[in-house]
């Protein structure tokens, strides 16, 4: 497995990480613990060193899963987790109704980190993200709280998720930001306009979540797809039948490139991301061993400059239909 360094932080990770949310949260009921443990360890055996979780995934179940599964190989892996939601009042697994508010007060950050450390069975969190920017807490206070945790040895690196450009700058001035996690893929290219230039300027890595469009860019979903109970995609505007039908053109584009390369749409989508910047590390999620193997194969796909130009030219002619999130959740991004 190739490795990459997240910006100027010195944090070296596998070129592809593993997003673990779906093992416990948002895509139907939590998956079988033994099966997910086997999958996590198979990923380590295949050279994956970067694993992404959050206290809100479950809540707590995903951190507990990773803590137990990765304990025997803790010295070989980098674990990223997140704080920022008020979980005291419960959480709807679909994340749509009854979802918790934000809470990034310094005292709450310290409490969240203590819980994450216990669940992850570790003395130090490798990368700690603020899950969403809290408009009620100055980002300088958030960065200062994480800086204190870093000085105490409880955290190694600071990250932000779905933050806006000015927030990134303000946080970075207090405590260097190692990575920004945001949705980025061929059907969500919002970071290109303002965020990626800021990250490049400041030496911050980008960790795209949803790099396969929550499964859509794999070509395995279409307008006739139905989602099981508890799958949060059923509440996303971009996953209505009409939107899926309209966005099929993007999957067709990936399929055409994949046919030329004797590859798959998923691998082309990930290879495209890897080709954008050397400090971009996508974290595709999966609960299946065959999908893990398929995704990791993206590191062997060579896209030429001509390939990238053709993809960009064709993609520019496609209008993506549907918002990423319902309005309430979309308002939590880009702050």
CB atoms within 10 A of CB 179: 26
Q: Residue 143: CB partners within 8 Å, gap ≥ 6?
A: 158, 170, 171, 172, 174, 175, 177
Q: Estimate to the nearest angstrom the gap between the alpha carbon of 224 and the chain centroid.
A: 27
The β-bridge partners of 280 are: 206
> Distance (Å, rounded) from C-alpha 102 to C-alpha 128?
16
Catalytic entry in 57, 60, 184, 325? 57
Q: Estimate to the nearest angstrom the gap between the alpha carbon of 311 and the chain centroid.
A: 23
Identify whether 57 is a catalytic site residue: yes
Tell me the residue length of the chain. Answer: 335
DSSP single-letter state for residue 222: -
Taking Cα atoms as reference points, which of 299, 232, 225, 261 lies closest to residue 25?
A: 232
Q: Helix (H, G, I), strand (E, B), or coil: what is residue 296?
A: helix
> Distance (Å, rounded) from C-alpha 108 to C-alpha 103?
7
Q: Which residues are the active-site residues? A: 57
């Amino acid at each position: 497995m190739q490795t990459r360094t997240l910006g100027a932080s010195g944090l070296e990770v596998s070129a592809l990480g593993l997003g673990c949310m779906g093992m416990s949260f948002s895509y139907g009921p939590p998956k079988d613990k033994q099966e997910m443990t086997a999958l996590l360890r198979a990923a380590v055996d295949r050279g994956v060193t970067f694993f992404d979780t959050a206290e809100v995934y479950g809540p707590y179940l995903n951190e507990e899963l990773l803590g137990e599964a990765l304990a025997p190989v803790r010295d070989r892996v980098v674990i990223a987790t997140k704080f920022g939601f008020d979980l005291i009042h419960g959480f709807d697994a679909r994340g749509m109704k009854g979802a918790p508010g934000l809470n990034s007060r310094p005292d709450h950050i310290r409490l969240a980190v203590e819980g994450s450390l216990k669940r992850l069975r570790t003395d130090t969190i490798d990368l700690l993200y603020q899950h969403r920017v809290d408009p009620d807490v100055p980002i300088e206070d958030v960065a200062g709280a994480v800086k204190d945790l870093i000085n105490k040895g409880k955290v190694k690196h600071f990250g932000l998720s779905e933050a806006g450009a000015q927030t990134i700058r303000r946080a970075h001035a207090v405590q260097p930001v190692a990575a920004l996690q945001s949705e980025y893929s061929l059907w969500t290219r919002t970071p290109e306009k303002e965020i990626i230039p800021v990250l490049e300027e400041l030496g911050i890595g980008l960790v795209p979540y949803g790099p396969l469009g929550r499964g859509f860019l794999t070509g395995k979903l279409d307008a006739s797809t139905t989602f099981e109970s508890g799958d949060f995609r059923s509440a996303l505007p971009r996953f209505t039948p009409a939107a899926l039908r309209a966005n099929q053109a993007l999957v067709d584009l990936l399929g055409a490139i994949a046919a030329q390369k004797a590859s798959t749409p998923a691998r082309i989508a990930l290879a495209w991301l890897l080709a954008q910047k050397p400090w971009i590390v996508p974290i595709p999620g999966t609960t299946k061993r065959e999908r893990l193997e398929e995704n990791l194969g993206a590191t062997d796909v060579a896209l030429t400059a001509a390939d990238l130009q053709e993809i960009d030219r064709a993609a520019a002619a496609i209008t993506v239909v549907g918002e990423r999130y319902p309005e309430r959740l979309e308002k939590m991004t880009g702050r």
